[in-house]
Amino acid sequence: MAERLLLFATTARGTEDLLAAELKDLGAKRIRQDRGGVRFLASLDEALQVCLWSRIAMRVLYPLGEFDAPGAEGLYEAAASVPWEEHLTTHHTFAVDATLKDTTHAHSGFVALKVKDAIVDRLREKLGARPDVNTRDPDVSVVAHLVRDKLSLSLDLCGDPLHRRGYRVRPTAAPLKETLAAAILRAANYTGEEAVVDPMCGSGTLLIEAGLIARRRAPGIARSFAVERWPGMGPRARELLADMRADARRNERKVEVPLLGFDKSDEALEAASRNVKAAKLFEEIRLSEGDATHPLPVPEGGGLLVTNPPYGDRLGSGGQKGMKTFYFKLGESLRSLQGWRLWVLSGNPAFESAFHLRPIARRDLWNGPIECELLGYRAQGPQWAMEREESRPHANPTRNSGPRPARSETTLGPAHEPSDVAPMRPQHEGEEDA
């Protein structure tokens, strides 16, 4: 393999710019954002730093090529043209994972099978024997992505996707992916120096990711990577990663800021507690029962309040009207917290108007198949609450989806945020040379 590798890291759509910025911090060069991922150039050393340290990337792929692959025969021929003998031996196991978009093939399994057959046949011809397939724990993971008749083939440096940090031992309904939680914290410019509160913490993902940042802990410290088992590059990768892991452990630091989670569900708190323990952040993160539509005992001095309220589709909601009332009450409760920055990921289009606070930053992003908005706010403090109290009775939240009244505009402060928030919308194309 060449001295510098041209790699592609995948990420949730709408977070490409955040991943690009993180990759730049990790030493990547020639960074180019694409839809759902970022291309970059890295030495083996830098590529391994990305595997160990990227909080946002889901996979790190080493592209082998892009081919025209019409029909079943085209698929086979395209896959057979790759020099697999450079990447696999007869003693290493492999598996093929296929994804499809706009193709005439009905099943990804069929595409994976064709690619697998081509690999096996080529290696039998070149090496006189074939490697075994191991779909559960392969040494070499081949990723096939077919869009119409264009087949991309890559090797996955990570194996298990990077969101599997190893701490999610007890999920709840609708947990965020760990990598998406990290992207949200990066969008909120969280660097580990502020208190964090998640008033609806569910299984605790946002808090745990904040804890890892505050602890300066490498998100991949507790796992291994497929590249460590690759023929050729494996031994060098193992050696480099052993040093990187030791460095990472040495450079961890004590968490000096409060990290607090609330939820009204016992089941969610139980799951969060187990996950926090598995993440070895039991002393750093405090969890309590609480209702976010009522004042919560948050620490003085402010910080980052970040959360992912129920969207109303999967969690049972009492209908859209019930959700609007819930969001309105949430807005009433959270906006009066003096000195707090609020960041909310919502997948319910009714959230923004019902929450009734003017965002100072926003971005569209995808939480799996759900299109969401990430909204940034600055809480107004008790002064706001007093003014609201004086002007009661206030409007019915379910009817309050039109433009804000002029008085609110002045009360709610600046429309454009000063220095501590990320740009209003992600850039979609662009190249950076570090």
Distances, alpha carbon 324 to alpha carbons 109, 310, 330, 353, 354, in Å: 42, 11, 10, 9, 5
CA dihedral sign of residues 48, 52, 56, 58: positive
> Which one of 61, 226, 292, 354 is in contact with ligand SAM (CB under 6 A)?
292
3-class DSSP assignment, residue 33 = strand
Q: How far is the CB of 44 from ligand SAM (least distance, A)?
A: 33
Q: What are the backbone dihedrals phi and psi of residue 154, each rounded to the nearest 5 degrees, phi first? A: -140, 165
> Which one of 113, 174, 221, 222 is in contact with ligand SAM (CB under 6 A)?
174
Closer residue to ligand SAM (CB): 62 or 167: 167
Q: How far is the CB of 327 from ligand SAM (least distance, A)?
A: 11
Residue among 413, 333, 425 at smallest CA distance from 377: 413
Q: How far is the CB of 339 from ligand SAM (least distance, A)?
A: 21
CA dihedral sign of residues 48, 56, 20, 160: positive
- Within 257-286, the residues that bind ligand SAM by CB under 6 A are 262-265, 268
Distances, alpha carbon 264 to alpha carbons 153, 200, 235, in Å: 46, 8, 49
Query: Across 213-320, where does the E strand assignment appear?
Result: 259-263, 285-289, 303-307
Question: Residue 393, preceding bond cis, omega within 30 degrees?
Answer: yes
> Which one of 291, 299, 385, 400 is in contact with ligand SAM (CB under 6 A)?
291
For the record, the structure tokens of 98 come out as: 């296929």
Closer residue to ligand SAM (CB): 265 or 320: 265
Closer residue to ligand SAM (CB): 293 or 380: 293
Q: How far is the CB of 312 from ligand SAM (least distance, A)?
A: 10
Closer residue to ligand SAM (CB): 131 or 397: 397
Beta-bridge partner residues of 377: 342
> Which one of 49, 152, 293, 346 is in contact with ligand SAM (CB under 6 A)?
293
What is the size of the binding site for ligand SAM (CB under 6 A)? 22
Q: Which stretch binds ligand SAM (CB under 6 A): 131-139, 170-178, 356-364, 394-402?
A: 170-178
Q: Which stretch binds ligand SAM (CB under 6 A): 55-63, 104-112, 198-206, 403-411?
A: 198-206
Closer residue to ligand SAM (CB): 61 or 200: 200
Q: Does 192 bind ligand SAM (CB under 6 A)?
A: no
Q: How far is the CB of 238 from ligand SAM (least distance, A)?
A: 33
Closest residue to ligand SAM, judged by C-beta, is 202
Closer residue to ligand SAM (CB): 127 or 315: 315
User: What is the DSSP track for 94-129?
Assistant: EEEEEEEES-S-S-HHHHHHHHHHHHHHHHHHHHSS
Q: Does 127 bind ligand SAM (CB under 6 A)?
A: no
Closer residue to ligand SAM (CB): 107 or 294: 294
Q: Does 176 bind ligand SAM (CB under 6 A)?
A: yes
Residue with tokens 């796992």: 223
Distance CA(406)–CA(375), nearest Å, equals 21
Amino acid at 268: A
CA atoms within 13 A on the CB side of 433: 0
Site string for ligand SAM, 308-347 (x = CB under 6 A): xxx-------------------------------------
Residue among 288, 220, 307, 208 at smallest CA distance from 255: 208
Distance CA(394)–CA(405), nearest Å, equals 12
Please answer whether residues 54 and 219 qualify as being in contact, where contact means their C-beta atoms are separated by less than 8 angstroms.
Answer: yes
- Within 411-430, the residues that bind ligand SAM by CB under 6 A are none
Please answer whether residues 131 and 124 qualify as being in contact, where contact means their C-beta atoms are separated by less than 8 angstroms.
Answer: no
Closer residue to ligand SAM (CB): 170 or 363: 170
Closer residue to ligand SAM (CB): 33 or 307: 307
Closer residue to ligand SAM (CB): 51 or 210: 210
Q: Which stretch binds ligand SAM (CB under 6 A): 14-22, 28-36, 302-310, 358-366?
A: 302-310
Please answer whether residues 175 and 205 qualify as being in contact, where contact means their C-beta atoms are separated by less than 8 angstroms.
Answer: yes
For the record, the structure tokens of 270 come out as: 């139980």
Q: Where does this chain bind ligand SAM (CB under 6 A)? A: 172, 174-176, 199-200, 202-203, 205-206, 262-265, 268, 290-293, 308-310
